[in-house]
Amino acid sequence: MSEKDFLQKVNAHLDEQAEHLDAATQSRLNQARQRALEHVKSSEQDHMTDVIAGTRFRWLPASAMAGIAIVALGSFLFLQNINTVPEGGLDDPLEIVTSNNNLDMYEQLDFYMWLVEEDNSAS
Amino acid sequence: MQHDYAIDISPAKESTLDKARTLDRFLAQVERKAFRIAELAVSNREEALDIVQDSMIGLVQKYADRPEEEWTPLFYRILQSRIRDWYRKNKVRSKWMSWLGFSKKDDECECEDAMASVPDPAGRDPQQTASNHESMEQLDEAIHNLPYRQQQAFLLRTWEGLSVADTASAMKCSQGSVKTHYSRALHALRLELEDYRYE
């Protein structure tokens, strides 16, 4: 018998043995396979959980950005109110220049001061 | 928004189910051979079943995402690893038994490869089976009685059809060692099965 024939006979014998396992062993192998496949299902469930979590929190970044925008707008408006020049208190030359009041009065200040002096001298 | 949700889930779920089906088919295809290979190695049905189950779980957990054509060598690598673990545990156990006086002596020889000379766990001597001339049973006995590494190299190469490289990877040894183990196994079997050869 050649080596090839010998090996074929050995393989045939081993195949036959594997094909004719007793029912209890076949059942145990089936159970083992099902247990192993449960690990695929559990990894699928993990994936599903990730997907659901991803869907649930999908709008989280947009919500956060909207919140930040609201806070920034509120802060801006608040600070704008603080920077508003109080009425009647324009002692600082810079405040005078930066305020929105009409500057014509300041341009004719000498005239108004002269009027005041004239009134005083008349009285 | 619900449409997006459905689009996200379905392909993933479908691919997981496909993967599960493919793995089921693969494991069903290799489980019997794997069981016989483990049983021949450890000579214990229950231990062999546990080893096969651990190997299946190991493949699913670690290598399910790898291409299908890689599963066979990977599965047998895990199986061989589990069998080696079993031998290690048994060795420790037998050392303790020896130390406690429950065994005669630890008769490990100082060979270059200790695993190559691991005797049959059932304690049968290859010479004892020489007189057994029932061809099929004799062949089974002869394979059973081969030293562990010779037996596994022979089964993986001849029966499972793994390449020398894949067998070496599974057995964690060099390709040269696989060739040596295989050649010795073949020689021993042909010598022992003289009668079987000419039937």
Domains and CATH numbers, chain B: 1-106 (1.10.1740), 108-199 (1.10.10.10)
Alpha helices (H) in chain A, listed in sequence order: 3-19, 23-56, 60-83, 93-98, 104-107, 109-122
A40: which chain B residues are within 8 Å (Cβ-Cβ)? 16, 19-20, 23, 60, 64
Contact criterion met (CB below 8 Å) for B158 and A10: yes
> pTM, whole model, 2 decimals?
0.61
Residue of B1, B3, B14, B16 to mutate when probing chain A, most A C-beta within 10 A = B16
Residue of B8, B47, B66, B146 to mutate when probing chain A, most A C-beta within 10 A = B8
Whether the CB of B7 is below 8 Å from some CB of chain A: the reply is: no
Residue B103 has pLDDT above 80, yes or no: no
Contact criterion met (CB below 8 Å) for B86 and B51: yes
User: d(Cα B90, Cα B54) in Å, to the nearest integer?
Assistant: 17
Compare B112 and A21 and report the one with higher pLDDT: A21
Element (DSSP H or E) covering residue B124 = none
Nearest CB partner across the interface for A1, out of B139, B155, B198: B198
pLDDT (0 to 100) of residue B102: 64
User: d(Cα B199, Cα B195) in Å, to the nearest integer?
Assistant: 7
Nearest C-alpha neighbor of B37 from the set B179, B113, B151: B151
Backbone torsions φ then ψ of B173, nearest 5 degrees: -145, 175
How much is the ipTM here? 0.72
Helix (H) and strand (E) counts in chain B: 8, 0
CA distance B131 to chain A (A): 19
Nearest C-alpha neighbor of B129 from the set B193, B42, B40: B193
User: d(Cα B108, Cα B94) in Å, to the nearest integer?
Assistant: 11
Nearest CB partner across the interface for B53, out of A7, A17, A35: A35
Nearest CB partner across the interface for B56, out of A9, A10, A33: A33
B190: which chain A residues are within 8 Å (Cβ-Cβ)? 3, 6
Interval A89-112 mean pLDDT: 67
Each residue's pLDDT tens digit, A50-87: 555 555 556 677 778 888 889 988 888 888 776 665 55
